[in-house]
Structure 1
Amino acid sequence: MPLARTADLLAHAVETRRGLPAFNVITLEHAEAIVAGAELAGTPVILQISQNAVAYHGGRLLPLARACAEVAAAAAVPTALHLDHVEDFDLLRAAPAAGFSSAMFDASTLPHAENLKATAEAAEFAHRHGLHLEAELGRVGGKDGEPPLPAHAPGARTDPAEAADYVAGTRVDALAVAVGSSHAMTTRTAGLDHALIARLAAAVPVPLVLHGSSGVPDAELAAGVTAGLVKINIGTALNTAFTPALRAALDRLPDAVDPRKVLGPARTAMAETVAQLARVVATRSGQPVAEPLG
């Protein structure tokens, strides 16, 4: 089906009170696994390419973006393309021509006034070029090897009143909030602040986004969606499925030289993880989705 637009998928998620899963792509196998898993779950999905993934591919955005767009266009479920954690304004400027319908501009490490100013400029550019723009307020720790923030550290939780002012001042279309998760977690032990999520959802007129969702248990994710989270970003969970499956295939086939023999099982493991998490995220009032969405 045609490439979906993130804004439309988010609007549908809000209307039906479901979560919208968004998975990060590093390789073509990731993109294929994400779509295969979403098809198994019967859920819309977002393919996300981060600035770090672009750097991994030599700083070249178009090859991976075009591959993802083709995978998305062949999907049996609505699939959108999102540029994630953009700090480089030049990369943001490249997004519309590369087929993205949304981007996340990340100025969260800047002092608040600078974050607001930079994000407002990014939103103005995005809206002129038909992009839905997400931003982050509060600190979701763990990115780029930094340790998770302690629960009561400054910025470890997003303040609802500050969030409302931030959205009004920047005119962003979605807001990533700090409510207890952390990037790059390989164990699912994070607890979400569901009361804070509900307060944020009441205060902020745009969809709320959860980053660092790989470390959040299923029940916590489902409860978070019920409390008001909409877009749920997942990356590390795919890699924790991929890498052991790859190692097991290499151990099982020590003489194999055809990469398809070992990448295939790893891609399948990722697809199974995507399907399981997509079913958890696509909840309505805490109940897993039981029928395909479209």
Structure 2
Amino acid sequence: MPLVTTRELLDAAIADGSGLAALNVLHLETAEAIAAGAEAAGGGAVLQISENCVRFHGSLTPIADAATAVARASSAPLSVHLDHAEDASLIAEALRLGFSSVMVDGARLAWEENVALTQGAARDGRAAGAVVEAEIGEIGGKDGAHAPGVRTDPEEAARFAEATGVDLLAVAVGSSHAMTERTAAVDLELIERISARVPVPLVLHGSSGVPDDALVAAIRSGMRKINVSTQLNKVFTAAVRERLGADPGLVDSRKYLGAGRESMTGEVERLIRLFASAGSQE
């Protein structure tokens, strides 16, 4: 189907109280797994390309073109998003390439610098018709919004959203990036307080470390866009290891990358269904 916008996917999630799956692309096989998993689940997803991913590939255009082609060829509603961009020129490039959403990450900056960077991205995003996400953590945010122990202050989050004009806000409520164990305890009461004060949808980063039941509870408490990367990488890599372990003489990379893609497809389907279930409260 035609590429959809993140705004369309977000509006649908808001309407039914579900969580929008925002899943990170590392290379072509992961983009294909996200598309296949979304098709199997009968739902939509955001294909996210991070600044780190761009650095790995050497530039944005090749991986952006690949992800966009996969999304366009899929029967599932998919959008393409730039994730965790600290470089304003990279945000501008993503907007030129037609990304329907971008995330500006100034959480490591002082408050004034973060606001200024985010204001510029929000202005450029509006001009391009794109959704702009930003991140806030503790005052100053020197360790980032999702470093262990950081919690977002609801009043500060409200002031930041008002000052910058962003469309989405990533907040710190107990999750941390790159967790390989699902042991994070999210603060549901804090999510509710932030949601009540902030006039834009909230984003949960570091979701890979959060157990399933807590993810559903977080969505029901006010989280709307749910970012997942490490959990998908774990599943993909485990399948590759298993395939290579079963056949130490294997040299055709398609065979072990194919195993990773297939395994990740199943996890994508499971997560999209899980996030959708939050919208059907009993």
Structure 2 letter corresponding to 1:98 = L
Q: How does 1:1-294 map to 2 (within 5 A)?
A: 1-58=1-58, 60-138=59-137, 149-151=147-149, 156-285=150-279, 287=281
Shift of 1:280: 1.3
- Identical aligned pairs, as a percentage? 51
SS at match of 1:34: helix
Q: Does the C-alpha gap of structure 1 residues 68 and 285 become closer, same or farther in structure 2, counting only changes over 3 Å?
A: closer
Shift of 1:284: 3.6
RMSD: 1.6
Q: Is the 8 A contact 1:225 1:283 kept in 2?
A: no
1:105-142 C-alpha deviation (Å, 9 max, x unpaired): 00000111211111111111111122210000116xxx
Shift of 1:189: 0.3
Q: What 5-or-longer segments of structure 1 have no aligned partner?
A: 289-294
Question: Which has the higher mean CA deviation after the structures are superposed, 41-50 or 256-265?
Answer: 256-265
* 2: CA distance, partners of 1:228 / 1:122: 24
Shift of 1:283: 2.8
Q: Is the 8 A contact 1:214 1:237 kept in 2?
A: yes
Q: Which runs of 4+ in 1 moved over 2 A?
A: 148-151, 283-288
Q: Is the 8 A contact 2:16 2:279 kept in 1?
A: no
Shift of 1:180: 0.5
Structure 2 letter corresponding to 1:161 = E
Structure 1 letter corresponding to 2:108 = T
1:159-191 C-alpha deviation (Å, 9 max, x unpaired): 111111111100000000100000000000001
Q: Is the 8 A contact 2:217 2:278 kept in 1?
A: no
Partner in structure 2 of residue 291 of structure 1: none
SS at match of 1:205: coil
Q: Is the 8 A contact 1:174 1:206 kept in 2?
A: yes
Q: Is the 8 A contact 1:225 1:286 kept in 2?
A: no
* 1: CA distance, partners of 2:42 / 2:29: 20
Q: Is the 8 A contact 1:191 1:220 kept in 2?
A: yes
* 1: CA distance, partners of 2:13 / 2:69: 24
Query: Number of aligned pairs?
Result: 277
Structure 2 letter corresponding to 1:116 = V
* 2: CA distance, partners of 1:43 / 1:276: 11
Q: Is the 8 A contact 2:148 2:174 kept in 1?
A: no
Shift of 1:258: 1.4
Q: What TM-score do the two structures reach when normalised by structure 1?
A: 0.91
Q: Does the C-alpha gap of structure 1 residues 18 and 244 become closer, same or farther in structure 2, counting only changes over 3 Å?
A: same
Question: Which has the higher mean CA deviation after the structures are superposed, 261-270 or 216-225?
Answer: 261-270
Q: Is the 8 A contact 1:65 1:99 kept in 2?
A: no
SS at match of 2:162: helix
Question: Which has the higher mean CA deviation after the structures are superposed, 188-197 or 119-128?
Answer: 119-128
* 2: CA distance, partners of 1:287 / 1:277: 17
Shift of 1:264: 0.8
1:202-246 C-alpha deviation (Å, 9 max, x unpaired): 111111000000000000000000000000000001110011111
SS at match of 1:197: helix
Q: Is the 8 A contact 2:122 2:164 kept in 1?
A: yes
Shift of 1:150: 4.3
SS at match of 2:179: coil
Q: Is the 8 A contact 1:69 1:99 kept in 2?
A: no
Structure 2 letter corresponding to 1:91 = L
* 2: CA distance, partners of 1:224 / 1:76: 29
